[in-house]
């Protein structure tokens, strides 16, 4: 009985050793090959018995993996297609080997977290049709994470004026996991700016001339821009740009105001020239009439003197009468053509005012494309024009002039007028 039990135990032990199911495992270190199943001698289709469809390999580790087929391996050879750099297979026994050297990744030949699909095949040496083709995927990873950074192309602090345009590029330093999208935030609502969504996008913004309000005592406003980059694992990196916007002159509006002021000054100068011409004509007509009376009086006196020395009695009588007639013409002259002293003084004052306005207009002309003294020049022209208008408040001006600008300028700048009103040295 005891012998029977021992024999039975030994029988089952031997049977278990023979029928033990072979196993295998895959690791970056070593693979145990499977035992060849020869229990069934019937020929079957060629197939790879232990293919792992997905390999994950750490950097600086080594892969050894022996691929097996269901037939005699001495009659077959192995091959790879589209294999990444460093992956090899022994054509005789199907041993996959790979050394994930870190230099491959630093040089850019291999990339982290990128699936590489590799085609693997085995073929009979004697029968080309007896072959099997399949594929597997290999991915490399590393625990050394290099963070990706958002880097604007400007410094962290920027000063600009209202009306100026700021534009800069949002660059990214690529790390282990590149930044896939960028979100933009601002502490103040902005208008008319370009949206930044990804790396290498340009941010452009122009603050309007009304950006700084009258209530802002510092005449300056701080705008904080934040560009938040996110990778596929939602790891964030934030870049901050501080923009100090300073109060500035609204030059287009001021330019329009300057042009409006110069047009008003030019129009007022033409009105003064027309008033000057009217006064000058009155003074000139009065002077001609008085000169005629003076010549008549002088002729009467001279004629009376000549006739008084005549031998004829009638001529002597006429000579006594003519001087009295000449004297009688003097009050007639004063009554008919009184001196236009006020008009002449007003004409002289208007002429000097015109000359002053023309000089101020030339002196306050704009220089360059953007004259920063435009406000001062506008104020100067307005003050000068207002002062002259107050000074000439009693001088009538006619806006419905019957002469053109060229005709008025020709009359005002004529030689006779200049000689008449120009001061002469002794």
Among 198, 227, 248, give the residue marking a domain's end: 248
Token pair in block for residue 249: 């002159």
pLDDT digits (tens, 9 = 90+) for 206-239: 998 888 887 777 888 999 999 999 998 888 999 9
In this prediction, residue 337 carries a pLDDT of 47
Do the Cβ atoms of 307 and 318 come closer than 8 Å? yes
In this prediction, residue 24 carries a pLDDT of 35
- In the DSSP assignment, the letter for residue 369 is S
pLDDT digits (tens, 9 = 90+) for 299-331: 655 555 655 565 555 555 555 555 555 555 456
Out of 40-44, 146-150, 355-359, least confident range? 40-44
In this prediction, residue 419 carries a pLDDT of 64
CA dist 194 and 153 (Å) reads: 16
In this prediction, residue 213 carries a pLDDT of 83
Q: Other CB atoms closer than 10 Å to residue 108's CB: what's the count? A: 7
Give yes or no for residue 13 having a pLDDT over 50.
Answer: no
Q: Which long-range contacts (CB under 8 A, 24 or more apart) does 212-218 make?
A: 212/162, 212/245, 212/246, 212/247, 216/247
Global confidence as pTM: 0.46
Mean pLDDT of the chain: 77
CA dist 60 and 110 (Å) reads: 13
Distance of CA 25 to the CA centre of its chain: 63
Q: For Cα atoms 335, 339, 341, give the angle at the middle one, nearest 5 degrees.
A: 145
Give yes or no for residue 150 having a pLDDT over 90.
Answer: yes
Give yes or no for residue 6 having a pLDDT over 50.
Answer: no
412 and 315 share one domain: yes
170 and 259 share one domain: no
Among 222, 248, 274, give the residue marking a domain's end: 248
Among 141, 166, 195, give the residue marking a domain's end: 141
User: Which range among 280-284, 368-372, 394-398 has the greatest average pLDDT?
Assistant: 368-372
279 and 166 share one domain: no
User: Which range among 4-13, 41-50, 98-107, 121-130 has the greatest average pLDDT?
Assistant: 121-130
**Mean pLDDT confidence for 69-94:** 90
* Strand-strand pairing, 88-89 and 95-99: antiparallel
CA dist 210 and 250 (Å) reads: 9
**Phi-psi region at 42: left, alpha or beta (left = phi > 0; alpha = psi -120 to 50):** beta
Q: Which residues contact 77 (CB under 8 A, 6 or more apart)?
A: 91, 92, 122, 123, 125
Q: Confirm whether 19 is domain-assigned.
A: no
231 phi and psi angles, rounded to 5 deg? -95, -175
Q: Confirm whether 326 is domain-assigned.
A: yes
Domain count within the chain: 3
In this prediction, residue 21 carries a pLDDT of 34
89 and 164 share one domain: no
Farthest CA pair distance, the chain: 210
User: Which range among 88-92, 173-177, 211-215, 388-392 has the greatest average pLDDT?
Assistant: 88-92
- In the DSSP assignment, the letter for residue 22 is P
């Amino acid at each position: 009985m005891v012998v029977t039990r021992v024999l039975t135990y030994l029988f089952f032990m031997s049977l278990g050793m023979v029928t033990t199911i072979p196993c295998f495992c895959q690791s970056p270190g070593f693979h145990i090959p499977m035992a060849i199943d020869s229990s069934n001698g019937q020929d079957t289709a060629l197939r790879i018995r232990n293919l792992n469809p997905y390999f994950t390999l750490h950097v600086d580790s080594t892969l050894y993996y022996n691929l097996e087929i269901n037939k005699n391996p001495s009659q077959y050879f192995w091959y790879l297609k589209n294999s990444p750099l460093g992956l090899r297979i022994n054509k005789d026994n199907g041993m996959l080997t790979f050394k994930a050297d870190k230099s491959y990744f630093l040089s850019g030949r291999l990339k982290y977290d990128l699936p590489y699909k590799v085609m693997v095949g085995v073929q009979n040496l004697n029968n080309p049709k007896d072959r099997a083709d399949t594929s597997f995927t290999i991915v490399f990873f590393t625990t050394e994470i290099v963070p990706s950074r958002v880097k604007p192309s400007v410094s962290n602090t920027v000063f600009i004026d209202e009306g100026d345009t700021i534009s800069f590029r949002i660059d990214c330093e690529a790390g282990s996991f590149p930044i896939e999208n960028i979100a933009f935030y601002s502490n103040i609502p902005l208008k008319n700016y370009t949206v930044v969504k990804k790396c290498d996008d340009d941010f452009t913004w122009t603050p309007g001339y009304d950006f700084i309000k009258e209530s802002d005592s510092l005449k300056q406003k701080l705008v904080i821009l934040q560009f938040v980059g996110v990778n596929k694992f939602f790891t964030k990196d934030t870049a901050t740009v501080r923009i100090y916007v300073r109060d500035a002159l609204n030059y287009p509006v001021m330019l329009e105001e300057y042009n409006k002021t110069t047009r008003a000054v030019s129009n007022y100068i033409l009105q003064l020239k027309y008033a000057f011409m009217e006064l000058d004509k009155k003074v000139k007509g009065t002077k001609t009439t008085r000169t005629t009376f003076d010549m008549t009086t002088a002729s009467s006196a001279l004629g009376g003197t000549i006739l008084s020395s005549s031998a004829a009695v009638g001529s002597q009588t006429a000579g006594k009468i003519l001087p009295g007639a000449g004297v009688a013409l003097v009050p007639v002259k004063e009554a008919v053509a009184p001196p236009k002293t006020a008009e002449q003084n007003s004409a002289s004052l208007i002429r000097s005012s015109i000359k002053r306005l023309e000089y101020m207009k030339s002196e306050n002309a704009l220089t360059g494309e953007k004259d920063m003294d435009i406000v001062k020049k506008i104020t100067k022209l307005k003050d000068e024009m207002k002062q002259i208008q107050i000074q000439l408040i009693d001088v009538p001006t006619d806006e419905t002039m019957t002469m053109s600008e060229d005709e008025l300028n020709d009359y005002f700048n004529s030689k006779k007028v200049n000689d008449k009103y120009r001061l002469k040295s002794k």
